[in-house]
Structure 1
């Protein structure tokens, strides 16, 4: 029995020397068993290496196993594995149960159990207790050490309670993975196979207490034990290694192994130094690179020697962000393969954040045609099968909430098609369907839509969904059922939906699409979930639990489960983690994400036990897992191992900004390397030029696409022409190139539909509202989508701005008509009655509104109160405005049918029509209530964007001509009134300021008498206006001579009538164009105002002003006088 160490620095050939020794000895002694134990993830590679090195390329008496597989080999021989292993998922479930049962006995843990991550932290600490074989005596000692530290004492007391409860549950049922070695240590004495075996351990940086116990037994029974340890040959064996030193962990391992050998009276042979066997002090791996050898010999060493020569084997690159970092790596990998003859398998990428970088690498490497394997265990939460199961439970627990139902349906694995789900979702969104009761009954409610509502079809889809989910609902809502019943119901849901077959269809689809890793996930996930069900039932099947607890247990299981994937190919780039991934024969390594917090990894909180508490216990001979400080030194050792993996090239990269655009710092490693290599400069990839070589290295089709676009704009250089010719010669990329050219030189030539198609869509006569023609004036294509194809945004069951506007209109209308039929007028109604009626009018409008949404939430209830307040303010202002003039309301919500042309018929409703009647004439003004802040703008009228008021005035004139046939009807003005409750500065005249801010805006007849009739405060003597006055009601003010001021918005009577004629002609022209088929993309832009800004079809039209054939109609904001001249110039023949 003997112990022999194989020592050497990283890359020295320790493993090679060990394997050669094993092969030679195994050939000489065919009757002796040889066992090579390596980390789990390294077993396949070690088997390959030994078989390759063996002269016969095959071995009969050499086994390559992990510690776990070694344990099972012993159990097969002597027994001992009587109980199944409880994996992490089961641990979490049992811990949740134990903590719930012991809650009354727990001082601190009981209140934390529902905190996110607490059970996971408790599970990690429990595993640590098992791993370090913490006994009852150890707990007593820890309590003594805690002394007068009440928090630590409480933690240890709770931990002991949970530990005992957990062990009580496990007794004679299960064992944990950490207990395997304890069991193995108890039974290995009975093994005959181990006796006389030569055992080799390779690839370990250290061992746990349980593994050291096992090593002690190996030293006792094995013929020989050989162990590789990474150690600088310049350091003396037996010296006390400091934990902060690079090889402190190695010295600790050697010391412990030698102590075990002495205790078992095992012979300690002279160690084998790999460097001395190879005949050189330079590690074998770096024989082709002086720079890498210098890095290995000096990294994290004190003192160190600098390397003063120019070299290109080690490089540092900076990029803007993570995506740019990975993009650089992809470009350089392509160059190494293309120009330097490397295979993809010769290249590896390591990082401290493989999950995030792996996600980016998967996408960018695929785009660049680089085969890769992301070496990390993937969770299954995003798998559609798991998503459906979790969502099904949410549907029941949230009582058929919108989010839960459509999370379930959108999983892609139900019996409903995507089109059916869209139809159902549109209906549910519009009607606010919530709750099992409403889903269980046929839908009957209708809502306004441009599309016909097919209630029968919608109910068929509803019935299909309910047939799927109802059996699960019945079981999960029954409080008498056990967890077994819940799990069985969820299983039956999967059976009824034939989810296993659907997963197989997915798997085949991914195989055909060339995605074997995803296919492997879909192949494994059904079995994984079934195993989880089995574990839940075995552990907790007879327990009664709430639906919430069942959901938490299920989610705990899904979170814990990971899918382990094996590299599907031989020649591919491995993207891995700095600690987990094992690399072999790497020529070029990319060490990426070398930023603070990533390399070395940011270590979170100490968990349940803080670092200070751990230090206290460790200093009192309680062996536990390393503290954060100790872990930092271990991380440094792993960084050293990774940076010394490549034989020829090491690329170190970092980024400057994170995903939020905030600056981030490089890791301290960057400066360490720069100190060792003074002539090494950081290459900033964000400043790299776009020469042809770099573009080609980048697999430059993306660059070519941009170049072709710039070529089309005649803004290019010879570079893009050269690149185009390069790819043109590549037959494999010619089709892609043709599509790029087609896209780059695309010119939008679509200008509309045919006249025949327009007739089918619209008929021979155009019918609708003024808003329809205003939409056409804004963009013909938007009009086509809205009124030709009847496309509309999804209606949602919520209180939207148009809903609020409708309620305001209806409330004011109700109040106005109540005045007409009651004892009060606008002039006589008392303030308290006006306020009371205003509130009652809002209540009436809400009641009449065909939607329960108004009472569906506290927010909407608040909105009703707010609408009451605004309506009270509005009616106060309207009453005062009417009192301040001679005009009286004549009609409210007056419907009209306006026919400005034989091909056009417009319908609408005038909010309020006021008149002032004299013996031979009637003056009329039109008022339109707006809940939004709309301003009358002559430029918008001129371009057809604002036609409402003019059409309303025309319709009002027609009305009154019929009512007052013998009198002249005179237009007095057109106005918008903004329904609002404005905020003004606090002062003695606050109410006056509010009143002024509610002034109507529009266009006023400039006749001084008309102005005086509208606002008596402006009326002077003998038909004149008061000097230096400003109306509180209409947009008029006077100068010191009593004439109209420049800021007055006025027109003559003839001009007002001419405006009507102009708008009617514009409407007729636009309607003619629509019937001719005009529907091209022609959105307007007038200053900062654009048709696209609030357009509901922005996502559908494809308008892009950067592409040929797409452009805005640029409308100039013309002065009012210029517009008046043009409008009245066109209409002067009427006067």
Structure 2
């Protein structure tokens, strides 16, 4: 029985010498077992190392084990492990149950139970207590220490309550992984296998109290114990260790091991220093790398020596952000492999933030075909199977909410095609259906859309969904069922959906696509979930719980579950972190993320027990996991181990801006390195000419494409010209070059779909609304998408602006027709009756609108109240406007058909036609209600963007001409009325101010009689206009001489007819172009407004005004005089 330590600095060859000695001795003494115990994550690599180093490339009496595997080897021999180990997943589930049961007994923890991460924190603390051998007896001592600390005392009381509840559940059922070593300690003296063994420990930076206790027993019974520890050979092993010293943790471990050996009467052999065996005090790894050797010898040491020689072994590179950082590393790796002959396996990448950097590295390395192994375990939360389970439970707990239903369906595992899911989703979004009762009955509701709702098909999809979910729904809703029943129901859902077979098919597809990571995920996830089900049933199966609790228990298990890793290939770069990742024979190391908070890591406040509380316990000899202060010094040691891994070169990289766009500082280590290495190059990648590196990125494709894109605008470099010639000279790359040139110099020369295709699409005659032609005038492509391809925005279950406009129109129309049927007119209806009728008409319009779904939300109820208020104001204003003139409404929402040409048929509805008749004439005006703020604009009419009013007036005149063949029909005006309830300044004339703000805008026949008929205040008794009158009804006003001012929007009767002719001509022209197949991307731009501003197709048309052939159709702003001349013709 003896203990011997193998000591040495990082890179001195301790492990190599130990393995060599074990191999030699194992060959000479076949009767002795040689056990090499290493951390769990190092077992595979150590096995490879031993087999590779062994002359026979195979071993008979050498075993590589972790502490846990060592325990099971002993258990296999002597027994003692009567109960299965409860893994972390099961531990979390049991803790959730215990905390729920003991909630009333908990002083502080009760209110935190539901907080995300709390159970995880509690699990970590419990594991810590087991690792540090803290039992119920120790709690008494801790409570004495906490007498004057009420918060700590309450915490300890809660921890003890949870601890006792947990242990009570575990008794004679399970043990934790941490308890395994405690049990091993009790029976290890019975192991003959151990007594015939030499036990070696390698790769540990320290041990827990339970492990120390075990090592004491191992020393007593094994032939010999050999342990490697990293420490500077210059360190005095007898002096007291201090936390802040780089090797304080190592020295503490050495002294503890020696004390245990002495307590157990185990002989202590002289330690072996690896440097001494090498015959040099320079670590073996750095014999040919003096700068790296100097770094190892001085990092975190005081005093230190400055290395002032020229060197290129250590470099620092600064980049803009993490992506740029990884991009540099990727390019440099490609250069190292291509130019300096390194293999990928010679290179490693580490960081203090593997989760964030790992994702970026994977993306960048994949793009550049750099093989890599990323050393972190992936969770399963994003796997489709897991998402299906979570969504299925949510369907029950949220009663068929939109999110749960389509979260379930979109997993791709529900057996419903994507097309059918889209169809159902469109329907559900449009109708707002939710709830088991609604889903269990056939859907009957229709909604407005260009295509008819296929209710038969939608109901078949609904039935498939319901048939699969119903058994689960019924089981989870049954409060008499246990967790076993719930789990069985969830399992049965997977059987109905044939999940195992579907996952296998995904696995096979990923294998074919050469994606081993995803293939492994889909290969493992089913078994992981089945194991989780088993644990849930074994641990909590007989318990009753709510749906919410069941979901939380499942979620806890799913969050704990991790995927196994695919071992690194023969020639791959290992990407890992500073603590977990084992690097072997690395020549080049890239240490990324050398920023504050990443290296060294920023640590929290200690978890459930704060850092101050841990320090208090530590000063009273209660040892727990390291405090924040201690962890900071431990991090230094891990950084030292990491930075001394490479043999040839160390790259340190940091970024200046984080993911939130905020400036970040480099780690303090950068400044420390500058102190140690006098000639340390710090290269700012942002300032470098990275042309060469960009060529390395993807064989120059991106670099070549960028040069082509800016060709003619910027001067290309000689390097770019050379690359161009290289691509041109080779047949396989010349094809790529031609495609790049075609793309770079592509000019959009769209000529449309052609007349033949247009006639097939639209027919020989173009039919539609005036709005359709206005859409074409705005952009031909938008018209094609909307009317040719029949594309439309997804209908949503909410009151949108068009819906509100429709309800306003319907309510006003209902009022107008009800008023015509009553004994009253617009002139004499009482105010209170008008308001009652307005409210009733809005109610009717809402009830009739799309199956009356509107009242289903509080938001819609508010909007309805607002619609009522505005409608009351609108009808008040309309009555006032009609009373103030002589025109009377003739019809409302009057349908019309307008035929400007035999190939163009327009139809629509006119909101209101007003007339005034005398003996030989019929005066007509049309009014269009707008819930938006539309303004009459001759410029828009000129370019075809505002044609409705002119068409409406033309249709109204045609109708009246047929109705009154013996009378002249006089075009009197076209107007927009803005439906609104305007806010005005408080004054003594509020209603006057409101009526002014609600004045119609449009164009009036300037005939004096017409003006007098429009607004009685304008006309004088002598047939002339009154002087200095500003109409509050129509856009007309007079000066002091009784003449119309320039601000009046007026035209002669013949000019209004000319306007109608102009619009008809424009409609015919545009209609002809549509039938000729015009689908150009030609959006207009007028001042600050473009056709793209509110276009629903702007994300798919590909229009980019910066590209050749793409450009806005600028509508030149013409003066009113120019417009009148072109539209109305010569005076």
When normalised by structure 1's length, the TM-score is: 0.96
Inter-CA distance 862–634: structure 2 relative to 1 (3 Å threshold): same
Cα distance, 1:996 vs structure 2: 3.2
SS at match of 2:559: helix
Tell me, yes or no, if structure 1 residue 50 matches structure 2 residue 57.
Answer: no
Tell me, yes or no, if structure 1 residue 416 matches structure 2 residue 416.
Answer: yes
Inter-CA distance 206–501: structure 2 relative to 1 (3 Å threshold): same
Q: Which residue of 2 is the match for residue 244 of structure 1?
A: 244
Cα distance, 1:1026 vs structure 2: 5.5
SS at match of 2:740: helix
Q: Which residue of 2 is the match for residue 549 of structure 1?
A: 549
Q: Which residue of 1 is the match for residue 933 of structure 2?
A: 933
Contact 1:376/1:564 (CA < 8 Å) preserved in 2? no
Q: Which residue of 1 is the match for residue 465 of structure 2?
A: 465
Cα distance, 1:537 vs structure 2: 0.6
1:1086-1106: CA deviations, max 9, x gaps? 232222222222333333334
Inter-CA distance 1024–238: structure 2 relative to 1 (3 Å threshold): farther
Inter-CA distance 766–556: structure 2 relative to 1 (3 Å threshold): same
Inter-CA distance 693–472: structure 2 relative to 1 (3 Å threshold): closer
Inter-CA distance 152–1066: structure 2 relative to 1 (3 Å threshold): same
SS at match of 1:563: coil
SS at match of 1:562: coil
Q: How does 1:135-150 map to 2 (within 5 A)?
A: 135-150=135-150
Q: Which residue of 1 is the match for residue 637 of structure 2?
A: 637
Could you list the structure 1 runs, at least 4 aligned residues long, displaced by more than 6 angstroms after superposition. Answer: 712-715
Cα distance, 1:73 vs structure 2: 0.9
Separation in 1, partners of 2:171, 2:98: 14
SS at match of 1:169: helix
Q: Which moved more, 1:905-914 or 1:801-810?
A: 905-914
Q: Which residue of 2 is the match for residue 954 of structure 1?
A: 954
Q: Which moved more, 1:462-471 or 1:113-122?
A: 462-471
Inter-CA distance 1033–636: structure 2 relative to 1 (3 Å threshold): farther
Q: Which residue of 2 is the match for residue 970 of structure 1?
A: 970
Separation in 2, partners of 1:1094, 1:275: 74
Q: Which residue of 2 is the match for residue 525 of structure 1?
A: 525
SS at match of 2:194: coil
Inter-CA distance 1003–419: structure 2 relative to 1 (3 Å threshold): same
Separation in 2, partners of 1:991, 1:627: 74
Separation in 2, partners of 1:321, 1:444: 54
Q: Which moved more, 1:682-691 or 1:141-150?
A: 682-691
Q: Which residue of 1 is the match for residue 597 of structure 2?
A: 597
Inter-CA distance 729–132: structure 2 relative to 1 (3 Å threshold): farther
Inter-CA distance 717–1042: structure 2 relative to 1 (3 Å threshold): farther
Q: Which residue of 1 is the match for residue 1121 of structure 2?
A: 1121
Contact 1:83/1:175 (CA < 8 Å) preserved in 2? yes
Q: Which residue of 2 is the match for residue 625 of structure 1?
A: 625
Contact 1:10/1:230 (CA < 8 Å) preserved in 2? yes
Inter-CA distance 610–439: structure 2 relative to 1 (3 Å threshold): same
Q: Which residue of 1 is the match for residue 302 of structure 2?
A: 302
Q: Which residue of 2 is the match for residue 907 of structure 1?
A: 907
Cα distance, 1:747 vs structure 2: 3.7
Contact 1:275/1:282 (CA < 8 Å) preserved in 2? yes
Q: Which residue of 2 is the match for residue 883 of structure 1?
A: 883
Cα distance, 1:512 vs structure 2: 1.0
Contact 2:107/2:158 (CA < 8 Å) preserved in 1? yes
Q: Which residue of 2 is the match for residue 783 of structure 1?
A: 783
Q: How does 1:1063-1074 map to 2 (within 5 A)?
A: 1063-1074=1063-1074
SS at match of 2:193: coil
Inter-CA distance 247–943: structure 2 relative to 1 (3 Å threshold): same
Cα distance, 1:23 vs structure 2: 2.3
Separation in 1, partners of 2:712, 2:773: 36
Separation in 2, partners of 1:697, 1:904: 58
Q: Which residue of 2 is the match for residue 398 of structure 1?
A: 398
Q: Which residue of 1 is the match for residue 512 of structure 2?
A: 512
Inter-CA distance 299–191: structure 2 relative to 1 (3 Å threshold): same
Separation in 1, partners of 2:1010, 2:995: 22
SS at match of 1:229: strand
Inter-CA distance 869–299: structure 2 relative to 1 (3 Å threshold): farther
Cα distance, 1:845 vs structure 2: 0.8
Tell me, yes or no, if structure 1 residue 1112 matches structure 2 residue 1109.
Answer: no
Q: Give the alignment's Cα RMSD to 1 decimal.
A: 2.2
Tell me, yes or no, if structure 1 residue 366 matches structure 2 residue 388.
Answer: no
Contact 1:758/1:1075 (CA < 8 Å) preserved in 2? yes
Inter-CA distance 739–398: structure 2 relative to 1 (3 Å threshold): farther
Q: Which residue of 1 is the match for residue 673 of structure 2?
A: 673
Q: Which moved more, 1:72-81 or 1:1017-1026?
A: 1017-1026
Tell me, yes or no, if structure 1 residue 722 matches structure 2 residue 727.
Answer: no
Which ranges of structure 2 fall in alignment gaps of 5 or more residues? none
Cα distance, 1:304 vs structure 2: 2.4
Separation in 2, partners of 1:49, 1:813: 88
Separation in 1, partners of 2:525, 2:731: 41
Q: Which moved more, 1:687-696 or 1:282-291?
A: 687-696
Q: Which residue of 1 is the match for residue 831 of structure 2?
A: 831
Inter-CA distance 619–905: structure 2 relative to 1 (3 Å threshold): same
Q: Which moved more, 1:1026-1035 or 1:248-257?
A: 1026-1035
Cα distance, 1:1114 vs structure 2: 2.4
Q: Which residue of 2 is the match for residue 335 of structure 1?
A: 335
Q: Which residue of 1 is the match for residue 218 of structure 2?
A: 218
Separation in 2, partners of 1:212, 1:1119: 94
**How many residue pairs end up in the alignment?**
1131
Separation in 1, partners of 2:611, 2:1039: 81
Separation in 2, partners of 1:318, 1:714: 28
Cα distance, 1:984 vs structure 2: 4.3
Q: Which residue of 2 is the match for residue 652 of structure 1?
A: 652
Tell me, yes or no, if structure 1 residue 809 matches structure 2 residue 814.
Answer: no
Q: Which residue of 2 is the match for residue 4 of structure 1?
A: 4
Q: Which residue of 2 is the match for residue 430 of structure 1?
A: 430
Q: Which residue of 2 is the match for residue 1001 of structure 1?
A: 1001
Contact 1:334/1:698 (CA < 8 Å) preserved in 2? no
Cα distance, 1:1037 vs structure 2: 4.3
Q: Which residue of 2 is the match for residue 494 of structure 1?
A: 494
Separation in 2, partners of 1:527, 1:429: 36
Separation in 2, partners of 1:504, 1:965: 80
Cα distance, 1:1028 vs structure 2: 5.6
1:221-245: CA deviations, max 9, x gaps? 1222121111122221122222122
Contact 1:770/1:908 (CA < 8 Å) preserved in 2? yes
Q: Which residue of 1 is the match for residue 254 of structure 2?
A: 254
1:770-795: CA deviations, max 9, x gaps? 01111111222222222222222222
Separation in 2, partners of 1:503, 1:1060: 66
Contact 1:712/1:745 (CA < 8 Å) preserved in 2? no
Cα distance, 1:550 vs structure 2: 0.8
Q: Which residue of 2 is the match for residue 477 of structure 1?
A: 477
Contact 1:330/1:698 (CA < 8 Å) preserved in 2? no
Cα distance, 1:459 vs structure 2: 2.1
Cα distance, 1:1079 vs structure 2: 2.2
Separation in 2, partners of 1:684, 1:868: 65
Contact 2:888/2:914 (CA < 8 Å) preserved in 1? yes
Q: Which residue of 1 is the match for residue 704 of structure 2?
A: 704
Q: How does 1:44-443 map to 2 (within 5 A)?
A: 44-443=44-443
Cα distance, 1:1041 vs structure 2: 5.2
Separation in 2, partners of 1:865, 1:90: 55
Cα distance, 1:676 vs structure 2: 2.4
Tell me, yes or no, if structure 1 residue 792 matches structure 2 residue 766.
Answer: no
Inter-CA distance 294–1039: structure 2 relative to 1 (3 Å threshold): farther
SS at match of 1:915: strand
Inter-CA distance 308–1023: structure 2 relative to 1 (3 Å threshold): farther
SS at match of 1:1101: coil
Separation in 1, partners of 2:131, 2:734: 60
Contact 2:448/2:850 (CA < 8 Å) preserved in 1? no
Contact 1:313/1:650 (CA < 8 Å) preserved in 2? yes
Q: Which residue of 2 is the match for residue 769 of structure 1?
A: 769
Separation in 2, partners of 1:683, 1:1021: 91
Cα distance, 1:556 vs structure 2: 0.8
Inter-CA distance 659–714: structure 2 relative to 1 (3 Å threshold): closer
Separation in 1, partners of 2:1118, 2:716: 38
1:263-313: CA deviations, max 9, x gaps? 112222222222222222322212222222222222222332333334322
Cα distance, 1:884 vs structure 2: 3.5
1:148-174: CA deviations, max 9, x gaps? 322222211111111111100000100
SS at match of 1:607: coil
Cα distance, 1:1025 vs structure 2: 4.9
Contact 2:777/2:944 (CA < 8 Å) preserved in 1? yes
Cα distance, 1:204 vs structure 2: 0.8
1:4-31: CA deviations, max 9, x gaps? 2222221122212222222233233332
Cα distance, 1:596 vs structure 2: 2.1
Which ranges of structure 1 fall in alignment gaps of 5 or more residues? none
Inter-CA distance 694–496: structure 2 relative to 1 (3 Å threshold): closer
